[in-house]
Amino acid sequence: MVHVKSEILAVKLSQEINYAKSLYYEQQLMLRLSENQEQLELDS
């Protein structure tokens, strides 16, 4: 939890955190898709 002095700063900070989380989840998804693709190529 983070305490800030203004609502504007809180909104901006939460947007940055949500953006970072979405990048992280997208990266994890891409890694899993890449691993699945490599496995498919090995099975061929």
3-43 tens-digit pLDDT: 889 999 999 999 999 999 999 999 988 888 787 777 777 77
Q: Which residues, 6+ apart, have CB-to-CB distance to 3 below 8 Å?
A: none
Name the DSSP class of 5: S
Instruction: Give the separation between CA 10 and CA 5, rounded to whole angstroms.
Output: 8
Sign of CA dihedral 9, 11, 14, 19: negative
Instruction: Give the separation between CA 16 and CA 27, rounded to whole angstroms.
Output: 17
pTM over 0.85: no
